[in-house]
Structure 1
């Protein structure tokens, strides 16, 4: 990632530039191919997902240690994704266990809005995700519960204890957040995939074997046969310490931005 490509992507994010054209080196063009879809704002609302995992598909050890699963380049990649979207979504389990800040610290760019899905009000009001630092903070819940001053509350009806992905997305779009990143956990990402709402999924694989522990993507309704399995169009990008697989999913069928079109 060169400085001039990153400045160009930030300009595209702010509606001050276009992805087409550009006198890029082959390496710079690869960066545009990888990050361009996140920066683009002229194709309507879009939802992206990102998950970091080991070579054997784990996102945490058996003791739930997930902090060092990604290498330094994988972490920088995640922060670039945050900087290019309007908001980052995590489920309450991730917010409780990982205590994420969801800020941009490893690259230049704005902090996204922080959004937590917390149907039953499990997340305490002193959680880092609610800390006032100038970024928007939102919680999606299914009950009336007071939240810290400045936190925007979206209340939706839960069905069997869960919130509907379509309703959550519609409410966030209405709040002005149209380009969204689901950062965790694997179950939350899986629900948006199953609902057909995820445009692209970045799977960042680090060269580590864990051997046991929590699996990454676990679909709520997995297929019975491989013939029925989802087979996204996929491009691999080497980041140095990690390899990212950029997967184009059914949620992007009509708005796909492929490397050939950038």
Structure 2
């Protein structure tokens, strides 16, 4: 056995002897590497060190998926696909990381999280309900192993950008991220969608805009193109059948289904700016990026007149997506926000039209007003919206955080009525309200309008 020092010099990486491992994908060499009393396994084929940037899979231990054949996750499928990809290329390695079970929370906690997911939570909410982090994996040993084996420059087999960033911070050069050809299963589709929406995992590849739109049956093809080609102000909100966007505790994960959330990400991908109010950031800590579909992130605008949003929130602490923090003239912004954040002062008692003018001074293109209910309602009541996508989910919440609410008319004859289109998004029903002449002119007529 051999040993080398890790980057800190505090512990020693102990390598075991090399032995052969015949598999259905071909003959691999296998050996152990131990760091801090934790032993990991490495499977190699060919001469990875002789390649400029070999294929490498850093695979997290998953008893249920890898050994027991569970379809709740895609770990077993990813493991098999990674070995097949390495065998096809003839050179590469798989680093099997011990004690990464359940994204680092351990087997017992992972099974507790499974029980909460059976009750309706997604994978992120379940971890948080247990007081556990979304992802606590440490890749120090993986980086040390790659350096020891002469592979400091790799092509990483993963759909997880965070894994790439973690390895890069440890000195490994990731020249590209290679997505494995693993299809979602019915049993894990919701789980994988949650990781894409809430943990920034890569979406399955799509070839072009037409194909992307075609994957949402019933949605008129002109919708996204109109947002990209013009300068509209559009709002999107998903609420329950009885008009709430979250429970009384603020839990909004998720009111609508994955198809509606894909629709939201397509809107984000076709606008220049996305606006949310301070309460939405405080309650939901959204990323406001494009993850479920291909496309560029819009500039994030946070409407926060009293500078209440904590600097630890994702939008203020995590780049590189440009973010504009819109605060009142008398508000004092906290220090230590990310370099991607620009602070802009709002005029006193800023109206929705004033806020739009501020955004127009920063970016050109369509603007998405994404939330929350009070912000969307104020823009609707002020006549500042060109379109409103209002999705109704087949669920009754009873009471909670309200969706669309504003001071309305006293008689039905004066109630707000506009041209509209409706389309189904999975189990949900989305109504697109065309609130301005411009939005009608930008839209192709359809039987539902």
Instruction: Please indicate, yes or no, whether the TM-score normalized by the shorter chain is above 0.5.
Output: yes
TM-score using structure 2 length? 0.49
Alignment of 1:109-148 (within 5 A): 109-142=295-328, 143-146=331-334, 148=337
* Aligned-partner Cα distance in 1 for 2:334–2:245: 32
Corresponding position of 1:259:
444
Which deviations, in whole Å up to 9, do the C-alpha atoms of 1:158-186 show, x marking residues without a partner? 32xxx321111111111124311011011
1:185 to 369, 372, 385: 372
2:420 to 186, 211, 234: 234
* Aligned-partner Cα distance in 2 for 1:8–1:210: 35
Q: Does 2:381 correspond to 1:197? A: no
**C-alpha spacing 1:190/1:29, structure 2 compared with 1 (3 Å):** closer
Q: Does 2:221 correspond to 1:32? A: yes
* Aligned-partner Cα distance in 2 for 1:61–1:157: 33
1:88 Cα shift? 0.7
Which deviations, in whole Å up to 9, do the C-alpha atoms of 1:53-98 show, x marking residues without a partner? 1122211112221111011111111111111111110000111011
Corresponding position of 1:74:
260
CA contact (8 A) 1:172 1:178 kept: no
1:244 to 430, 434, 447: 430
1:28 Cα shift? 7.3
* Aligned-partner Cα distance in 2 for 1:4–1:121: 41
* Aligned-partner Cα distance in 2 for 1:4–1:187: 37
Corresponding position of 1:154:
344
* Aligned-partner Cα distance in 2 for 1:28–1:139: 37
Which deviations, in whole Å up to 9, do the C-alpha atoms of 1:122-178 show, x marking residues without a partner? 01112111133321100111134255233111102332xxx3211111111111243
**C-alpha spacing 1:255/1:73, structure 2 compared with 1 (3 Å):** closer
CA contact (8 A) 2:223 2:443 kept: no
* Aligned-partner Cα distance in 2 for 1:95–1:73: 23
* Aligned-partner Cα distance in 2 for 1:150–1:188: 24
**C-alpha spacing 1:144/1:9, structure 2 compared with 1 (3 Å):** farther
RCO higher in structure (CA 8 A, sep ≥6):
1
1:9 Cα shift? 8.3
Q: 3-state DSSP class of the match of 2:368?
A: strand
* Aligned-partner Cα distance in 1 for 2:364–2:312: 24
CA contact (8 A) 1:59 1:214 kept: yes
- Structure 2: stretches of 5+ with no match in the other structure: 1-204
1:224 Cα shift? 1.3
Identify the structure with the greater strand proportion.
Answer: 2
CA contact (8 A) 1:34 1:246 kept: no
* Aligned-partner Cα distance in 2 for 1:28–1:66: 25
Give the RMSD, CA atoms, in angstroms.
2.4
Please tell me whether Structure 1 or Structure 2 has the larger radius of gyration of its CA atoms. Answer: 2
Range with greater deviation from structure 2 (80-89 or 145-154): 145-154
* Aligned-partner Cα distance in 1 for 2:302–2:224: 24
* Aligned-partner Cα distance in 1 for 2:430–2:208: 19
TM-score using structure 1 length? 0.82
1:63 to 249, 269, 284: 249
Moved over 6 A (4+): none
CA contact (8 A) 1:51 1:183 kept: yes
